[in-house]
Chains A and B, each alone.
Chain A
Amino acid sequence: MTAPRVIETDICLIGAGITAAMMAESLAARTTAEITVIEAGTHTTSLRDRYARRQRWQDYGESPWTQDHIDDQNALGTAYGYSPTMNVGGLAMHWGGVTPRYAPEDFQVRSLFGVGDDWPITYEELDPFYQEAEERMGIAGEQGPPAMDPRGQPFPLPPLPLSDSLRQLRGWAAAAGVTMWSQPSAKNSVAHGGRGVCQRCDTCYPICPTGAKYSPDFTYDALVRAGRIRLVTDTLIRRLQADARTGRITQATGNSTRQHAQTVVVRAKTFVLTGGFTWAPHLLLLSADAAHPDGLANRSGLVGKYLCGHRNVAAQIRLPLDLLPGVNVQHSLVTKQFMRRGHPDRYLRHDLRVWESSFGHGPRLRDDSGGLLLGDTLLADWRRRTKTGVARIRAYYDVLPDRESALTLDAGTRNAWGDPMPRLAFRDAPESAALRGWQEDEIRALFARMARAGNGAIISDASAAGDIGQEHPGGGCRMGDDPASSVVDRHGRTHQHENLWVAGAPTHVTASCCNGTLTFAALGLRTAAALATEFPARS
């Protein structure tokens, strides 16, 4: 029997993704507390290897991220929007670096629109933490019209420049009555954070070879080098143990993922779950004991419930514009015009993004009559078809979660230690389900109006994900002021265990209608600010 490895610390963050990276950096700056981050996975592809791994991905579709998951640690069910990624840096090692903020209305949908639930916090309360996240990552952004895009301070970095094609598309959108601007991104428009300027390699997703796109490994590496945190990898925390009388978490226990028989015990004053919308509620449910038969922090019965996200409607629009796609493939235009005011009749809020596109421009092997195209004939046909300008357009629309949009434990699928794996089942609230068809039709009608305004036509109409899951998911430990209807308070502290916190994505009440990562990080930073007051301040 191997003796357990015992780790003692002040603050233990469980899960080394982007939320934990932001929090660890903030906590290390604010307090003298000893901070330990526990990660089930390990370090994935280092910066020096990213050019080579990117090349393999471009050439063969191989994953550029080595050792980025644990084989038997995976989710089941309607898992679209989920990723098996489990490594230092989490999913944000391969994110696209797209960083919109939510709109003020996202936090008050019940008060303003009579649907869903309000958050216990407002946009204004989160604004300073959005700013902090943007500064820590280095967000390049263009200030949109203030009425659409309110923010307390300017973006830390100048915006990524628009290509000629995106400038033409912005003009087209304006003619259609849609005000668009440069999408904020965690990509260096100027040198920042010891990292160089973006080289628009076009592979932000899945891998930036230069380090110009922010990824959390940079933060972890710097903190570890400076001795400000301890990062423990290859360690899967499988249970939290709570004192039956006080409810305080006494220790976390788990195993080495390299040597399965090696047990690990972590004793800390405070525990923070930073494993995202899947693994945070999963750990709480796994930690059921005699005093907490439904899992920890679950007096409300809402651990794992109200999983939230959004869906999209997308199209390709042919336009009489002279576009040259490929100048900066992953950069786009964005607007919050439809996130702010909503639809005048019924509930519909959505974002809108536009990209230059090469849809339908690919080379053909056969012409319209079925004749084989080879040599210069193929090239001439290809050239002829690139002369048509094409825009890709997509709107994420807000989907309100049902209580039973839930993560549960699947006893039929277990990992190496016998733990049941999470099963995800996304479900719309009845009010959202009833509106879905109308909402998607309204968005398609907007696309059609925009196409007509540019003398263009929709050439492909698509919405993604369908019912196999939702995008940019969150929830599972929703925040609220009432312990009967939430799992954590407005700062992320669980109602039931005073030294147990949940941070980032799982605390979402609803998931807005745009990419969520910046908000996950901002919420984590807000949690860190509250948590830091319980430890000695760093002078």
Chain B
Amino acid sequence: MTHDRRDFLRRSLLGAAGAAIPIPTEADGQPPATPTSGAQPPSRALDAVMLAALGDAILPESLGAAGRARAIAAFTAWLAAYVPVAEEMHGYGYAELTYTRSDPAPGWRAQLQALDLLARRIRRRGFVQLDLAGRRAVLDAALRGGRHGTLPSSPLGADHVAVALLAHWAATSEAQDLAYGARIGAGQCRSLAETARRPLPIVGETPR
């Protein structure tokens, strides 16, 4: 397994992010996600109204309101089930063990608040109250100087909640099918017998 191959697989396979997500338990052999202080686990909830407004601004309009709402719900569920410092896949080729990053929710929550503050500063209205062009102008200002030219393969690699939400959607099999204009279903379990048939085009999409 090479770095190149590992990244290739991760990028190819981070599909189905919106599928049902089981929360790990001690019985799974993973450490439970409870803090050592004995306090309740922190809520990972993000401001739902802000998140919806952000989703409307960054996700494709062609998904429709329902499609964008599904993408946001999937992102929220993904975040809720995140376990910090879980052991990552080591595979062969890597002697060292690595662990998932710290909880991204607090930082993302703060970035949502900052987006609203920025909107009030440069547009004199809250982010939610802005029209699509206004929200995108605020995002342009907020993301200026960011490190992402391409979307990261996982939300965990994002430097901003907007990038994380986009990356989460883009990693789904459905998004990749839209990009290729065909029902490929990468990362989904599918019949082997269908392998030899060229994936069918998505009805209503522009042919390649």
Contact = CB atoms under 8 A, between A and B. Distances in A.
A235 B19 CA distance: 39
A382 interface: yes
A82 B93 contact: yes
B139 A364 contact: no
Interface string B1-12: 111110011111
A378 B93 contact: no
A322 B92 contact: no
B118 to A, nearest CB: 15
Interface string A209-229: 110000000000000000000
Contacts of B91: 83, 94, 205-206
B151 interface: yes
A523 B146 CA distance: 53
Contacts of B178: 379, 383
B192 A325 contact: no
Given A81-B92, A324-B199, 14 more contacts: A55-B20, A59-B78, A66-B29, A84-B95, A163-B196, A202-B13, A325-B184, A358-B8, A365-B143, A365-B146, A365-B149, A386-B208, A387-B208, A471-B2
User: Which 4 interchain pairs have the tightest Cβ spacing?
Assistant: A66-B29, A326-B186, A464-B2, A83-B92
Contacts of A61: 10, 88-89, 100, 154, 156
A314 B30 contact: no
B100 A372 contact: no
Nearest to A472: B92
B189 A378 contact: no
A128 B123 CA distance: 76
Contacts of A197: 192
B93 A80 contact: yes
Contact of A94 (B92, B100, B149): B92
Given A82-B92, A378-B166, A379-B178, A358 B12 contact: yes
Interface string A451-466: 0000000000010110
Contacts of B150: 362-365
B15 A58 contact: yes
B60 A378 contact: yes
Given A163-B196, A374-B136, A376-B62, A85 B90 contact: yes
A325 B12 contact: yes
Main secondary structure of the interface of B (DSSP, over half): loop
A58 B16 contact: yes
Contacts of A49: 28
Contacts of A363: 150-151, 166, 170, 175, 179
A83 B94 contact: yes
Interface of B: 1-5, 8-17, 19-22, 24, 28-30, 57-62, 78, 81-83, 86-95, 97, 100, 132, 136, 139-140, 143, 146, 148-151, 153-154, 156, 163, 166, 170, 175-176, 178-182, 184-193, 195-199, 206, 208
A152 interface: no
A81 B2 CA distance: 9
Contacts of A450: none
A209 B179 contact: no
Contacts of B176: 326
B64 to A, nearest CB: 11
Interface string A295-306: 000000000000
A169 to B, nearest CB: 14
Nearest to B141: A372
A60 B156 contact: yes
A291 interface: no
A163 B184 CA distance: 11
Contacts of B3: 464
Contacts of A387: 208
A13 interface: no
A189 B198 CA distance: 19
Given A60-B100, A83-B95, A200-B189, A55 B83 contact: no
B142 to A, nearest CB: 10
A469 B91 CA distance: 15
A324 B184 contact: yes
B67 to A, nearest CB: 12
B16 to A, nearest CB: 6
Interface in A167-205: 167, 189, 197-203, 205
Contacts of B92: 81-83, 85, 91, 94-95
A357 B97 CA distance: 28
A58 B13 contact: yes
Interface stretch (A71-79, A101-109, A258-266, A434-442): A71-79
A94 B178 CA distance: 31
A160 interface: yes
Interface in A351-382: 357-359, 361-366, 372, 374-376, 378-379, 382
B188 A83 contact: no
A8 interface: no
A134 to B, nearest CB: 19
Nearest to A312: B2
28 contacts: A55-B20, A56-B24, A58-B15, A59-B17, A62-B88, A64-B89, A67-B29, A74-B95, A80-B94, A160-B192, A189-B192, A198-B192, A200-B195, A206-B89, A206-B91, A324-B182, A325-B12, A325-B180, A328-B195, A365-B149, A365-B151, A365-B166, A366-B149, A372-B140, A379-B62, A383-B180, A386-B180, A386-B208
Contacts of A431: none
Contacts of B60: 375-376, 378-379
Contact of A58 (B82, B156, B187): B187
A464 to B, nearest CB: 3
B2 A66 contact: no
Contacts of B193: 161
A52 B30 CA distance: 13
Contact of A62 (B78, B87, B186): B87
Contacts of A202: 12-13, 15, 186-188
B154 A210 contact: no
A148 interface: no
B17 A58 contact: yes
Given A56-B24, A162-B195, A379-B60, A82 B8 contact: no
A347 interface: no
Most B C-beta atoms less than 10 A away, residue of A61, A79, A312: A61
A464 B87 contact: no
